[in-house]
Structure 1
Amino acid sequence: MREVETMTGMVIRVSPVGEMDKRLVILTRERGKITAFARGSRRPGSPLMAVSRPFAFGQFSLYEGRDSYTLRSAEIINYFDALSLDMEGTCYGSYFLELADYYARENMDGTGLLKLLYQSIRALLKPALKNQLVQRVFELKAMVLNGEYTEKPPCPVSDSAGYTWEYVIASPAEHLYTFTLTEPVLEEFSRCVEINKKRYVDRDFHSLEILQTMTGGKVLK
């Protein structure tokens, strides 16, 4: 009998397989990015139906195979259901999942990226925080975790924008979303993050293209 492994993680990508199954990509604390098949999860009444969807965060019980895992069960702590009521917030969250998928690797310690992803999606649900600020903080911190950043902003900025850059680099995920910025400072900070991203990130993201359309081009890609 195969041994069951339990991992803490979040579903970051889902695709249908055959008539009744789903292929999940899960960012886990213990093993980084893994692929798991949820057998029968598209069948009405399947206990795996609800847990096999993007943003589901919790404990996943899995059987390990040669190239992938098979999902046995899951205890979900947070589905982030409130995000589905906000189309723009859902698009931002989907982009965060895409960027996490881009940076995550198999058999790595996924603790830092998983914490960042979880806290960032929570931040999208806070009315006091602008989605653009959450996006830029998430992007910069994801690049920091991958070692793709400069200690100082990559272009001349005000003291406030410079301090914001340094604060995001130095702070743990739990303390990232404890501030707001004025519009001019947010624009400066966003410009710096975009410069850094163009320097290191070599792909486009579907969710950002949708956001471009929704916001009339206000979201930078």
Structure 2
Amino acid sequence: MKEVEKLTGMVIKVAPVGEMDKRLVILTKERGKITAFARGARRPGNQLMGISRPFAFGQFSLYEGRDSYSLRSADISNYFEDLALDMEGTCYGSYFLELVDFYARENEDATGLLKLLYQSVRALLKPALKNELVQRVFELKAMVLNGEYTEVPPRPVSDSANYAWEYVIASPAEHLYTFTLTEEVLEEFARCVEMNKKRFIDREFHSLEILQTMMEIKVLK
């Protein structure tokens, strides 16, 4: 009988397979990005239906196969259900999942990236924080974890924007979302993060395109 392996992580991608199954991509602390099949997860009443959805965070019990895992069960500690009630927040969160999928690798310690993802999704649920600030902090810290950043902003900025940049680089995920910025400083900070992205990330993100379209419609209204 195969031994059950327990991994802590978050579901970052879900796709249907066959008539009743799902293919999951899970970012795990211990094994990095893994693929797991949830057999029967699309069948009404199946115990895997609720746990095999994006943003589900907890401890997953899996059987390891040659190229993938089979999901047996999970102890989910946070479904982030409130995020589903906020279309804008869901779009930001979906972009975070897509960026993490881009950065994560198999068979590597992903503790830092998983903590960043978890704290960033939590931050989207805090009314006091602007979603754009959460996005830019998340992007910069993700690049920092991958070694793709500069110690100082890529262009001259105000002292406040410079401090925000240095703070994000140096702070652990648990302390990232403890500050706010004025509209003017946020604009400076965002511009610098965007410049850093264009320098290091050569990819378009579908979820970000949807988010940008939504923001443009929101401005027009």
TM-score, L = length of structure 1: 0.98
User: In the TM superposition, what are the counterparts of 1:188-203 in structure 2 within 5 Å?
Assistant: 188-203=188-203
* One-letter amino acid matched to 1:173: A
Shift in Å, 1:202: 1.0
2:149 maps to 149
| In 2: Cα distance, 1:133 partner to 1:32 partner | 26
- Identity of paired residues, percent? 84
| In 2: Cα distance, 1:169 partner to 1:144 partner | 6
Cα deviation digits, residues 102-140 of structure 1 (max 9, x gap): 000000101000000000000000000000000000000
The answer as to 2:69 corresponding to 1:69 is yes
- Contact kept, 8 Å, 1:212 with 1:218, in 2: the verdict is no
| In 2: Cα distance, 1:65 partner to 1:218 partner | 46
Cα deviation digits, residues 18-58 of structure 1 (max 9, x gap): 00000000000000000000000000000000000000000
For structure 1, the residue ranges without an aligned partner over 5 or more in a row are none
Which one is further off, 208-217 or 170-179?
208-217
| In 2: Cα distance, 1:214 partner to 1:199 partner | 25
1:41 counterpart SS class: coil
2:3 maps to 3
Superposed CA RMSD: 1.1
The answer as to 2:185 corresponding to 1:185 is yes
User: In the TM superposition, what are the counterparts of 1:131-150 in structure 2 within 5 Å?
Assistant: 131-150=131-150
User: In the TM superposition, what are the counterparts of 1:39-188 in structure 2 within 5 Å?
Assistant: 39-188=39-188
Residue 218 and residue 109 in structure 1: after superposition, are their counterparts in 2 closer, same or farther (change >3 A)? farther
Shift in Å, 1:217: 7.5
Shift in Å, 1:213: 1.1
Shift in Å, 1:194: 0.2
| In 2: Cα distance, 1:217 partner to 1:190 partner | 20
| In 2: Cα distance, 1:218 partner to 1:98 partner | 23
Shift in Å, 1:218: 8.6
Residues matched between the structures, number: 219
1:215 counterpart SS class: helix
Residue 218 and residue 181 in structure 1: after superposition, are their counterparts in 2 closer, same or farther (change >3 A)? farther
1:213 maps to 213
Residue 146 and residue 161 in structure 1: after superposition, are their counterparts in 2 closer, same or farther (change >3 A)? same
